[in-house]
Amino acid sequence: MAGVDRRRIEAAVTELLLAIGEDPDREGLDATPQRVAESYAEFFAGIGADPLDHLRETIPTGSSDSVGELTGETVIVRDIAFRSVCEHHLLPFTGVAHIAYVPGDAVVGLGRLPRVVDTLASRPQVQERLTEQIASAIDEGLAPLGVLVVLDASHQCVTTRGSRQTASTTVTVASRGTLASGPGRSDVLALIGSGRAHD
């Protein structure tokens, strides 16, 4: 993947500024095309990247670390901050991801899960698909017994345009295996919710 074409972005932003009746050469806007190109290179760095690359180095359950034996108990990582760009209006949405999985034969370093989220979020997205893609990546990469992913995000296409619901957030859920239903799912959702008492 070659990455974004910054020169084409700069040309497109210059044309956009002209189209809204602005002078792209005036002070304050003269460097805007370059700034937008730099931002887009960051926002869309996940295009063509494989989120499974972050899950290739695993630790077998049943092995020991400095604390003791690694078990197959549920792993939950809450409040993973993320940002993405809505593909409908090319406006950002930001929020937190909560990821839970019940290990099968392996676990992964906790820092790997935010990398999976970031890779998938760094491309034009809709929140519903992003949630499913995160769950699918963990399911494929770790082969766990169950996966549950919850995203809670604020969308600028809702907060700054149209109905302008400035306090609105959107929650989406994706699940697999033993966390798709039943008491295990309810317990995990309760644990995720208990971390939000500060809100």
Return the biggest CA–CA distance within the chain: 65
For this structure, is 89 an active site residue? yes
For this structure, is 198 an active site residue? no
Calpha distance 139→126 (Å, rounded): 20
For this structure, is 98 an active site residue? no
Asked if residue 89 belongs to a known ligand binding site, the reply is yes
For this structure, is 155 an active site residue? yes
Asked if residue 86 belongs to a known ligand binding site, the reply is yes
For this structure, is 165 an active site residue? no
**Residues 62, 64, 68, 72: what is their CA dihedral angle, to the nearest 10 degrees?**
-30
For this structure, is 34 an active site residue? no
**Residues 18, 20, 25, 27: what is their CA dihedral angle, to the nearest 10 degrees?**
180
Active-site residue, selected from the candidate residues 10, 125, 127, 133: 127
Active-site residue, selected from the candidate residues 10, 54, 133, 155: 155
Active-site residue, selected from the candidate residues 86, 98, 125, 133: 86
Active-site residue, selected from the candidate residues 15, 57, 88, 128: 88
Active-site residue, selected from the candidate residues 15, 57, 73, 87: 87
Active-site residue, selected from the candidate residues 34, 38, 89, 156: 89
For this structure, is 54 an active site residue? no
Calpha distance 105→145 (Å, rounded): 9
Catalytic residue numbers, as ranges = 86-89, 127, 155, 157
Per the annotation, binding residues are 86, 89, 157
Per the annotation, binding residues for Zn(2+) are 86, 89, 157
